[in-house]
Amino acid sequence: MATAVQQLPNVTDFLSKKQKESPKDLATEWAELEELHNKRLWHQLTLKLLKFIKKPQLQQGDNLIQLYNNFIQTFENKINPLSLVEIVAITIEQFKNPQDAIAFLEKTEVKVKINPDAQNLCKVLIGQLQLAKLNNLEATKKIIEEVEATLDNADGVTAVHGRFYLLASQYYRIQGDHAQYYRTALRYLGCIELDTLSPEVKHQHAFFLGLAALLGEGVYNLGELLAHPILDSLKGTENIWIVELLYAFNSGDINKFEVMKPQWSSIADLTAQELFLRQKISLLCLMEMTFKRPSHNRQLTFEEIAKETKLPLNEIELLVMKALSQKLVKGAIDQVANTVNMTWVQPRVLDRKQIITMVDKLNEWCKHVSTMENLLEEKASEILTL
């Protein structure tokens, strides 16, 4: 019994037809593709295709699908696997049925399995379809876990990292996992050039990141976001207040937090979590108090902490215990004297005011060293004669 052989399309006929149908400028480009194909210059052809498929004339109907099935498919094994997936990523946008696009990507994934980055990119593209088109959260979660496990072992930042972190951040935002959204969204922005984003998208990222920083469980290093240029997109907008609120949290400024309540209470998510926000800013206030103290004098009384955090005296010990358990600070509680002896505060990205505080502390430390040096010089003879 004869084995059925897949009939490949006639490339010459397809390209000739396209040259006749297309306007002069586009017909010239079709001719260039044919020339590169006939000369078997696969690398140059790939580079040409990556630009060609983005042309506006090809974004209509199923032009890209036809291009792939009648032309690219015949030499796809000659194309760099990652470049092939980049071509497929644009092609699948013309599938009306998301399931058809996923099936197309699954076939491509098998073809590029020799290249981990290309294979991961296929999975991420499938995840984007599962999330955006089919709202299949379980399938998306599985893909995120699979890809994350391989990316953690990758050397440097690959072409997949940006798309993966974008997918992960979108998933965690839908799930309401503020802390994970905050971390993955910041990583996404670290993998791309901000200039490639539109002002509207920048504004959206900045606002959502601000909310996530405030609402995220375990997110206390707000300086990382405050130092990021993405927040510049909020300047001159009605949402600039969230930057002020972030600065208030970063410095543990509870007075500022209370003054700004009319603004932040307009966001339902923040109003619903008011108790959590107060607990968080109280912990940040305690961290800031510890940070400002010189290393040789970090004994805080319960009264001092209560005054700064505006909490009742009987709640201070619980606040300190929570800070210790979350490893925000290290130290010991003296229940008899109602004091806390701090020995360490969690490192954070500092804003300008905190850097000035650090400079003052370094200057003070230099003075102590100088004093000790002078003391040793004065007492050297006594020490040497012992």
**306-353: per-residue pLDDT in tens?**
999 999 999 999 999 999 999 999 999 999 999 999 999 998 776 777
Residue 44 predicted with pLDDT over 50: yes
**What CA–CA distance (Å, rounded) separates 323 from 70?**
63
Mean pLDDT of 270-296: 93
**99-114: per-residue pLDDT in tens?**
999 999 999 999 999 9
Residues making up the chain, counted from first to last: 386
**139-190: per-residue pLDDT in tens?**
999 999 999 999 887 778 888 999 999 999 999 999 999 999 999 999 999 9
- What are the C-alpha distances in Å from 124 to residues 5, 134, 339? 32, 14, 52
This prediction has a pTM of: 0.87
SS3 114: coil
Mean pLDDT of 356-370: 79
Sort residue 310 into left (φ over 0), alpha (ψ -120 to 50) or beta: left
Residue 366 banded pLDDT, cuts 50, 70, 90 = confident
Higher pLDDT, 21 or 159: 21
Contact between 229 and 194 under an 8 Å Cβ cutoff? The reply is: yes
Residue 253 predicted with pLDDT over 50: yes
Nearest residue to 246 via CA among 288, 204, 211: 211
Q: Lowest-confidence range among 17-31, 231-245, 328-342, 362-376? A: 362-376
